[in-house]
Structure 1
Amino acid sequence: MASLADSLRARGDEDLTALLRMRPDLATPPPADTSVLATRAGVRSSVARACEDLDSFALSTLEALVLLDADSAPVPLDAVAEMLGSGVTPQRTRRAVEELRRRALVWGEDAELAVVPTAREALPAFPAGLGRPADDLTPDAADAALAELDEQERDLVSKLAGSRPIGRTKDAGRGITADEAATPVQRLLAKGLLLRRDTETVELPRQLAFAVRGADPMGPVEPEEPLLDLVAHDQATVDSTAAGEVLELLRHLESMLHLWSEDPPDVLRSGGIGVRDIRRAAKELDVDEARVSLLVELAVAANLLAATDGGEPRWTLTYGADTWLASGPEQRWAPLAKSWVELPRLPGLIGARDEKDRLLGPLSEELRRPLAPRDRHRILGLLDELPGGHGVRAADDAAAVLAWRAPRRGGRLRDDLVRWTLREATALGVVALGALSSAGRAVLFDDASTAAQVLTSALPEPLDHVLVQADLTVVAPGRLEPDLAADMNLVADVESAGSATVYRVGESSVRRALDAGRSADELHALFRDRSRTPIPQGLTYLIDDVARRHGRLRAGTASAFLRCDDSVLLAEVLASPGIGELELRRIAPTVLVSPLPLVEVLDGLRAAGFAPAAEGPDGQILDLRSDGHRVRGRARTTQQAALPTPPGEEQLAELIAQLRSGDRAGSVRRGSAMSPERGRPSAEATLRLLRDAAAQQRSVWLGFVNSNGVSSQVVVQPVSVGGGVLQGVDRGSGEPGRFPLHRITSVAVVED
């Protein structure tokens, strides 16, 4: 029968283009002709890579071909269908074989199917869980032997006829006769129904496994993809639910950035972040540690956090974080979601242990997985195939479908990857209710600005009002306008958050607003103008009471000074226990000074029960809230593709043209009388031969290296030779071409 090279040579340009698109490694470097392409297609590493893209049934079909020894002699399609089992039709087998043909793993007509020899090495050691065949055991003899086995022997044979035909035993020693055999293993060995691999290992012969399996020689085979159990929702419901998750994520990330702006966590020696810092942040944000770990990975990926240089590096906010914090929710979310989709790391591994039993923490190097972006696209792409608003009921259902589509991808974490990805996508609002949100779809297939626009339409309209309650809580029934949200975060503390946020107004929160420069009248006006409910007297009294005491003591720098019109109050300060640490001394009846920084003086006075206010040079309230530490963000680096990048359409067309040209050049007969000496021809010999060929109108065979360093062969009809260039017509394509003489590696006249 024809070889793989002959089969590929007979294909059309479209089929060869599809092959190079499915197996891009075959195109690097560009093959000189179809023979080179066929050789490369049979390389073990390339075959193993091609098998990663096969679905479960295509892999089973390839295993059936190997079990039938199609790598040494062709086999008919009917035999393959019979090997696959009673539940598989020849038509379904033919479709799978056609898929293997397109990938150049199988070739030949249905009556003579051949498989690349290295397929046996790329497949598992025991295809379909079947062992080696025994030399002298026929199918009829295997059936008869199986019927004569006792219960113990049959149980052992049935177990080995499952997914693995190998068994470990202490009864595999040599020299035991049938009369001496006492155990089921020894009796089966004596009957020749088990193969001895070594003194502790036995193997079930393939013929006996066939006898156990009956009409399904390869065991359970899944010819079709499992069905997904779907849940139907309105797309608007999915989008609104996703928008709620987005707002919650952004609130948590903003709180974490503010927390670490004041007290950045240390960078571990391994490059990650400590468990103690994660736990502290989780307690402050009132979330679990897994949530904080994901936030940390997102913040670093989006360049909001970066490690400082120096002897004691810390994870510090970048200058870009300030821009992010000042942006609207859609502008905050889009770069986060984009960074997550392309993140070459697996946050889902956080909390697991490595091979040395060390705990894997956020930002540790062990989380790096270059193929993670590809897997996320594949998992989310499954949801994109579903009708709008439809989602998967359980992550395990999606894992089963993806496992059928590509059983050799993902390794031991294959199913975990699906669960982790869907959980993280839900936290980001890319997925909601098991379905892909409209904004999530835009993240996958559009740029960040488009994704932000799509999310904007799903976010609830920002509210310009709150509801003040009698118990001094303030309810925000939805997302607040940015200015109102900033005011509420200043004058009140968040008590609970969700679709509605509940704030608590207390003495400390009112004082915080006064410390920031707000007056009592401004706070009264804020609640009066923004509340849709009556203002309770308790809130009015609270604001007035705190404001009356606030600022009676004035602190400045001497390093710091403290002044008050009431000298009795200053005397009370000096007599207060613990104030001695502030090193205050009186320099006037109404003025005290301290060598300590102003912030420490204020904190010490407040700890002692006083309510001082910071004063600026103009006598106005001074806002001493820290802007936090900042560091320049790291320059983003483009991740190199872990797999060969598929060539573009123009490049594919050039490759096919080169293949055809190489085939034509290889098929012509080259003369020897006018050929240059062996090795690279001299410039004089090349020039003389080409000029003679042009004068005699004879074609020449050229070995040629193009400007990219790729060698090829081509048959050319010379037209003229001069200026260091051969001008001629490609006999294969009929197109004129220019061939610099210094790039010609070999030349010969074509015999007619």
Structure 2
Amino acid sequence: MQMRSFTDYLRSVDDDALLELFTHRADLISPVPSDIASLAVRACSAPSLARAIDALNQWQFQVLEACAVVNEPFNEKQIIALTEKAAAEVLPELIARGLIYPADDGMRLPNSVRDVLGSEIAGLGPASMAKLTLKKLDEAPAAAKKVLERLIWGPPRGSVGDIKNPGPGVTWLLEENFMVPLDQRTVILPREVGIYLRGGKVHKEREMTPPPIKGAKRDARSVELAAIANVATVLRWVDEILEYWAQEPADALRAGGLGVRDLKIIATHMGIDENCAAFVAELVYLAGLVTIDADDKILPTNNFDIWLTQSASTRWQAIASPWLITSRVSGLVGRAESKNTAALGPELDRVNAASTRALVLELLAENKEVAPELESFTKRVKWCAPSKRNPGLQEEMVQWTLREAEWLGITGQGVISKYGQEFLTGAELEIINTDLPQPVDHILIQSDNTAIAPGPLVHDVAAVLAIIGDIESRGGATVYRFTDTTIRRGLDHGKTGDEIIAFLRKTSKTPIPQPLEYLISDVAKKHGRLRVGNTSSFIRCEDPALITQIISDKRLDILSLRRIAPEVMICDMDAHDVMNVLRNAGYLPAAESANGMLLTGPRSSRAQSKPRPPRIIGELEVPTDAALAAAIRTIRVGEKSSHKQSTLRNIANNALGALPRTTANETLDVLLKYIQEQRSLSIGYADNNGAVSHRIIDPLKISAGSLIARDHGTGEMQTFRIPRITGVAPL
């Protein structure tokens, strides 16, 4: 069988070669193509080729670039001359990935590979159209050599003031065709000249081996202790952010996402920086524990109630697993150049996020005893994946992944932990349940109105303490501080003063100090004396002296209060805003309903809508053996059917003398081949009325679903809509 195209090559290979191709390029069987021709068209598409090239390491990428700059067909000896002897081992790997293929006259590149690599591959310009005597370059004048030194390693373009009078060095190079003018102010160095000046090599340094990862060794025990502490901390962060939003829901931005103000509030509440708060917010969003409700409120879902009943290992896996595969990058939040990027917003997706994250964790697992230095680790990542799309983000992605892995407990002190290793292998992680400290159900109240939790608290105790106290410090032991503001918050949530005192007596292993009891009783006595409702709003108090005090308070002038009775004032502002102003001025109002009832009670809200975790984009899972076998079987059956139909069609066409007839895939495949070879074609073309005519053309270019070609009948350039081409045939 003759191999004149990439399609012919795919038809010639066995099932093992197709299996290896699909293992490297899973996108080729998602969905499964109908036959070999369809497979070839998909394999030559720019998106598929970009994925395949992204998966190459630095040395494989350099060999591919060398293949792309040499004229086709090429052989192994030519590539070795342009690179190193080790390139001979890489060429079969590139063939297995479908990035080069063997033809009858040598090796070739599939269509579009050069387009994906870019217009100036390896910093080299286009091939020269003129015959060059490269040895003359050794005798170039000094001015010309100075120009060449600037362009030798790329980019190959240079600017001149005026192409008609560019200076002696450029003039000599232009006269000898060692430089080509692109326009009135730009010149370019031909590819052959660049390679000659580089000593016959394509790259300045051939990076055949990966750079070593440098770092510090850590004590194994310290690593595991740090990792389990990180696991406990991230689970506590998740509980805190969801409990807070259940009581004080954040407002979603109009475009979606968490606003800067609400991000700062939750970061302050949790005692972490805003980058970490954005990361935790993304974790609960990805896990479906929070959603944006119909009224644009960010609220926990009912999944949070289920979450609270699960084991620690199950909860940890529920947040770590979506983090590993998500295309969302929380590190983008808060960057100066991306001011409009918000946590939970739609702008955080990056195509290469999941693959970079997986690569970083893979390298950490390979170097399990070292806490890597960022610089050497980044160099290694770049060697493993040099051509990632959006390359400006890759260094930051590495840094963010290392930081987030530490927050999650996948690493401890920078070294991958046993929990991280088991997580990457898909283990159940029951070890987390045994290694985590058991939650405690008691606190130790101190004489300075603080309470110490000597370990992680059971959820019921932690939830009440979060309402009636503020966390002052975190760590192995958590310190809560009680103030009049926190006690008032507990009263607003439906607790009475006696209930708060009873809770503290039951929970504390130490007696309640008398000053704290007096504080709780005093705040409870004042709570509710002042009541706020809606007129827009009214303020009612049974103590006329307190009403007089509020009217006279200059800090409350913003409310524009009006006294309409000895015990009642009204205001044009909303009741919620009035209460905030009064509280900031030191008063202790309570909300009141229209029938005079105090509006207090637990405020733990849940979203009414179902959770809508963000979709995952950009990455495909490695297909299973069964899926690979089914795909190959489907393609082989489809190929037999297509071959039979093609044979019958040819017999009918020859018998009737009909115009050429080919399928859409065959048409596109032949057009791409003949554009590359610059040969004439016979086509059938349907006009606006459906009448099909016979044309002889020279195909030149395919753009936006149309073929641009020179029609032999008119001698003019014409545009042919590809869907109207009924078939193509060589002359």
Q: TM-score, normalised by structure 2?
A: 0.71
Q: Do residues 418 (structure 1) and 406 (structure 2) align? A: no
Counterpart of 2:479 in 1: which secondary structure? Answer: strand
What letter is aligned with 1:362?
A: A
Moved more, 661-670 or 460-469: 661-670
Q: Which residue pairs with 2:435 in the alignment?
A: 458
Aligned counterparts of 2:599 and 2:497: Cα–Cα separation in 1: 5
Q: Which residue pairs with 2:346 in the alignment?
A: 365
In 2 relative to 1, CA 614–432 (structure 1 residues): closer, same or farther, beyond 3 Å?
Answer: same
State the Cα deviation string for residues 525-557 of structure 1 (Å, max 9, x = none): 643xx25xxx6xxx6221343466566679699
Counterpart of 2:147 in 1: which secondary structure? Answer: helix
State the Cα deviation string for residues 533-587 of structure 1 (Å, max 9, x = none): xx6xxx6221343466566679699999xxxxxxxx987966872399899999x
Aligned ranges 1:195-210 → 2 under 5 Å: 195-210=180-195
State the Cα deviation string for residues 335-362 of structure 1 (Å, max 9, x = none): 22233234332222223467xx863222
Q: Which residue pairs with 1:105 in the alignment?
A: 99
Give the Å deviation of 1:58.
Answer: 1.5
Gapped regions of structure 2 (runs ≥ 5): 534-540, 553-560, 593-597, 654-731
Aligned ranges 1:280-295 → 2 under 5 Å: 280-295=265-280
In 2 relative to 1, CA 156–465 (structure 1 residues): closer, same or farther, beyond 3 Å?
Answer: farther
Say if 1:462 and 1:479, in contact at 8 Å, map to a contact too: yes
In 2 relative to 1, CA 331–599 (structure 1 residues): closer, same or farther, beyond 3 Å?
Answer: farther
Q: Which residue pairs with 1:438 in the alignment?
A: 418
Aligned counterparts of 2:356 and 2:470: Cα–Cα separation in 1: 41
Aligned ranges 1:184-583 → 2 under 5 Å: 184-190=169-175, 192-214=177-199, 216-310=201-295, 313-324=296-307, 330-352=313-335, 359-369=340-350, 372-387=353-368, 389-394=369-374, 396-412=375-391, 413-446=393-426, 450-451=428-429, 453-463=430-440, 466=443, 469=446, 471-482=448-459, 485-486=462-463, 488-489=465-466, 492-506=469-483, 512=490, 515=496, 517-518=498-499, 520=501, 523-524=504-505, 526-527=507-508, 530-531=509-510, 540-546=513-519, 549=522, 577-578=549-550
Q: Do residues 139 (structure 1) and 154 (structure 2) align? A: no
Q: Which residue pairs with 2:160 in the alignment?
A: 169
Aligned counterparts of 1:436 and 1:417: Cα–Cα separation in 2: 18
Aligned residues: 623
In 2 relative to 1, CA 484–635 (structure 1 residues): closer, same or farther, beyond 3 Å?
Answer: closer
Aligned counterparts of 1:669 and 1:612: Cα–Cα separation in 2: 84
Give the Å deviation of 1:667.
Answer: 9.3
Give the Å deviation of 1:64.
Answer: 1.5
Aligned counterparts of 1:435 and 1:602: Cα–Cα separation in 2: 50
State the Cα deviation string for residues 474-512 of structure 1 (Å, max 9, x = none): 444433444554565466432111233223345555675
Give the Å deviation of 1:83.
Answer: 0.4
Say if 1:268 and 1:274, in contact at 8 Å, map to a contact too: yes
In 2 relative to 1, CA 517–302 (structure 1 residues): closer, same or farther, beyond 3 Å?
Answer: farther
In 2 relative to 1, CA 410–211 (structure 1 residues): closer, same or farther, beyond 3 Å?
Answer: closer
What letter is aligned with 1:164?
A: P
Give the Å deviation of 1:260.
Answer: 3.5
In 2 relative to 1, CA 667–190 (structure 1 residues): closer, same or farther, beyond 3 Å?
Answer: closer
Say if 2:437 and 2:456, in contact at 8 Å, map to a contact too: yes
Aligned counterparts of 2:36 and 2:459: Cα–Cα separation in 1: 65
Say if 2:289 and 2:611, in contact at 8 Å, map to a contact too: no
Aligned counterparts of 1:457 and 1:156: Cα–Cα separation in 2: 69
In 2 relative to 1, CA 393–599 (structure 1 residues): closer, same or farther, beyond 3 Å?
Answer: closer
Aligned counterparts of 2:158 and 2:514: Cα–Cα separation in 1: 83
What letter is aligned with 2:56?
A: L
Give the Å deviation of 1:166.
Answer: 0.9
Give the Å deviation of 1:97.
Answer: 0.6
Aligned counterparts of 2:265 and 2:29: Cα–Cα separation in 1: 53
Give the Å deviation of 1:286.
Answer: 3.8
Give the Å deviation of 1:230.
Answer: 3.8
Give the Å deviation of 1:662.
Answer: 7.2
Counterpart of 2:382 in 1: which secondary structure? Answer: helix
Aligned counterparts of 2:267 and 2:77: Cα–Cα separation in 1: 62
Aligned counterparts of 2:225 and 2:45: Cα–Cα separation in 1: 51
In 2 relative to 1, CA 416–261 (structure 1 residues): closer, same or farther, beyond 3 Å?
Answer: same
Aligned counterparts of 2:59 and 2:471: Cα–Cα separation in 1: 55
Q: Which residue pairs with 2:78 in the alignment?
A: 79
Aligned counterparts of 1:471 and 1:381: Cα–Cα separation in 2: 49
Say if 1:267 and 1:315, in contact at 8 Å, map to a contact too: yes
Aligned counterparts of 1:608 and 1:43: Cα–Cα separation in 2: 67
What letter is aligned with 2:124?
A: L
Give the Å deviation of 1:158.
Answer: 1.5
Aligned counterparts of 1:599 and 1:67: Cα–Cα separation in 2: 70
In 2 relative to 1, CA 118–367 (structure 1 residues): closer, same or farther, beyond 3 Å?
Answer: closer
In 2 relative to 1, CA 430–576 (structure 1 residues): closer, same or farther, beyond 3 Å?
Answer: farther
Give the Å deviation of 1:222.
Answer: 1.0
Give the Å deviation of 1:441.
Answer: 4.2
Give the Å deviation of 1:406.
Answer: 2.5
What letter is aligned with 1:14?
A: D
Among candidates 150, 159, 183, match of residue 159 of structure 1: 150
In 2 relative to 1, CA 678–482 (structure 1 residues): closer, same or farther, beyond 3 Å?
Answer: same
In 2 relative to 1, CA 162–572 (structure 1 residues): closer, same or farther, beyond 3 Å?
Answer: same
Say if 1:303 and 1:633, in contact at 8 Å, map to a contact too: no
In 2 relative to 1, CA 373–602 (structure 1 residues): closer, same or farther, beyond 3 Å?
Answer: closer
Counterpart of 2:513 in 1: which secondary structure? Answer: helix
| Superposed CA RMSD | 4.7
In 2 relative to 1, CA 235–153 (structure 1 residues): closer, same or farther, beyond 3 Å?
Answer: same
State the Cα deviation string for residues 351-399 of structure 1 (Å, max 9, x = none): 3467xx8632223322234553344333323323333x544222x4333
What letter is aligned with 2:92?
A: E
Say if 1:558 and 1:593, in contact at 8 Å, map to a contact too: no
Give the Å deviation of 1:96.
Answer: 0.4
Q: TM-score, normalised by structure 1?
A: 0.69
Say if 1:341 and 1:444, in contact at 8 Å, map to a contact too: no
Counterpart of 2:126 in 1: which secondary structure? Answer: coil
Counterpart of 1:502 in 2: which secondary structure? Answer: strand
Aligned ranges 1:630-641 → 2 under 5 Å: 630-636=606-612, 639=615
Aligned counterparts of 2:431 and 2:410: Cα–Cα separation in 1: 12
The percentage of counterpart residues that share the same residue type is: 27
In 2 relative to 1, CA 455–156 (structure 1 residues): closer, same or farther, beyond 3 Å?
Answer: farther
Say if 1:168 and 1:200, in contact at 8 Å, map to a contact too: yes
What letter is aligned with 1:243?
A: I
Q: Which residue pairs with 1:129 in the alignment?
A: 123
Aligned counterparts of 1:100 and 1:68: Cα–Cα separation in 2: 16
In 2 relative to 1, CA 496–671 (structure 1 residues): closer, same or farther, beyond 3 Å?
Answer: closer
Counterpart of 1:366 in 2: which secondary structure? Answer: coil
Aligned counterparts of 1:414 and 1:607: Cα–Cα separation in 2: 46
What letter is aligned with 1:415?
A: E
Counterpart of 2:549 in 1: which secondary structure? Answer: coil
Q: Which residue pairs with 1:742 in the alignment?
A: none
Aligned counterparts of 1:211 and 1:334: Cα–Cα separation in 2: 56
